[in-house]
Amino acid sequence: MGIQITPSILNADFADLGAEVARIPSADWVHVDVMDNHFVPNLTFGPTMVEAIARSTDIPLDAHLMIDDPDRHAPTYVEAGCASVTFHIEAAAAPVRLAREIRSAGGRASMALKPATPIEPYEDLLPELDMLLLMTVEPGFGGQKFLDLVLPKIRRARAMMAKHGVETWLQVDGGVSLETIERCAEAGADVFVAGSAVYSADDPDAMVQELRASAAAARGGQA
């Protein structure tokens, strides 16, 4: 799998999400940010809304759960129609069991790390995961500045994946734009969430294509 762009609808018009998703037909995934006002200081939506978004589009949904107790709630998002479900390691009680439950429900299992959470303790979990999300801002809000301090962790995670010979995708989320995507791609990321960069563009779909081209060029032309 090459470069994938997964626009976040966090900064789209919540009163008209079906139409907002229809503006990005070139997206590989639609990234839905679920926030519970406990794990992060912001509140968005839950499985009912996610199910409605899933019904409105053929593009697969990539759920990013910024919630407490993902062990209890994550499988619900597979049932709600998400092809990929990401839980935060900082909130999970039994990440191996949870990843296996997401997979057995038919979803791709993904685990997220906040910027200050090290990857090293979780090296042996990589074969249990379809994707690793390395946050490049503190989770909770769109429109924040990209944290360059995460780049070495992206490189280390990519090297670990090569060592283990796993096909785990490496996603980055937060402050990804035309200005920062090349740095992430060079460091080894291959799945890119972009919220405000896409939805503040005059033509969101053209921005999706520009982001993909820019990341592909940084990874040596691999699209």
Give whichever of 42 and 76 is closer to Zn ion, judged by the CB atom: 42
- Residue list 47-66, contact with ligand DX5 (CB under 6 A): 64
Among 131, 137, 160, 185, binds ligand DX5 (CB under 6 A): 137
Least distance CB 124 / Zn ion (angstroms): 25
| 8 contacts ligand DX5 (rule: CB under 6 A) | yes
| 113 contacts ligand DX5 (rule: CB under 6 A) | no
Give whichever of 45 and 141 is closer to ligand DX5, judged by the CB atom: 141
Least distance CB 50 / ligand DX5 (angstroms): 14
For Zn ion, what does the binding mask look like between residues 156 and 195, x meaning CB under 5 A?
-----------------x----------------------
User: Kindly report the CA angle at 223 between 28 and 106, in degrees rounded to 5?
Assistant: 40
Among 45, 76, 140, 210, binds ligand DX5 (CB under 6 A): 140
Stretch that binds ligand DX5, among 4-12, 51-59, 97-105, 205-213 (CB under 6 A): 4-12
- Which residues have a Cβ under 8 Å from the Cβ of 125 and sit 6 or more positions away? 95, 96, 99, 111
Return the residue nearest ligand DX5 (CB atom).
Answer: 195
| 133 contacts ligand DX5 (rule: CB under 6 A) | no
Residue 139 Ramachandran class (φ > 0 left, ψ -120 to 50 alpha, else beta): beta
Stretch that binds Zn ion, among 17-25, 58-66, 100-108, 156-164 (CB under 5 A): 58-66
**Cα Rg of the chain (Å, integer):** 16
List binding-site positions for a divalent metal cation.
31, 33, 64, 173
Instruction: List for the chain the helix, strand, coil content (%; round to 5).
Output: 40, 20, 40
| 33 contacts Zn ion (rule: CB under 5 A) | yes
Q: How far apart are CA 47 and CA 63, in angstroms?
A: 10
- Which residues have a Cβ under 8 Å from the Cβ of 194 and sit 6 or more positions away? 5, 6, 7, 8, 176, 177, 181, 207, 208, 211
DSSP characters for 46-100?
Answer: -HHHHHHHHHH-SSPEEEEEE-S-HHHHHHHHHHTTEEEEEEETTT-S-HHHHHH
Least distance CB 195 / ligand DX5 (angstroms): 3
Cα–Cα nearest to 34, from 51, 15, 57? 51
Which position has the token pair 């994938």? 4
Q: Could you list the residues that contact ligand DX5 (CB under 6 A)? A: 8, 10-11, 31, 33, 64, 137, 139-144, 173-176, 193-197
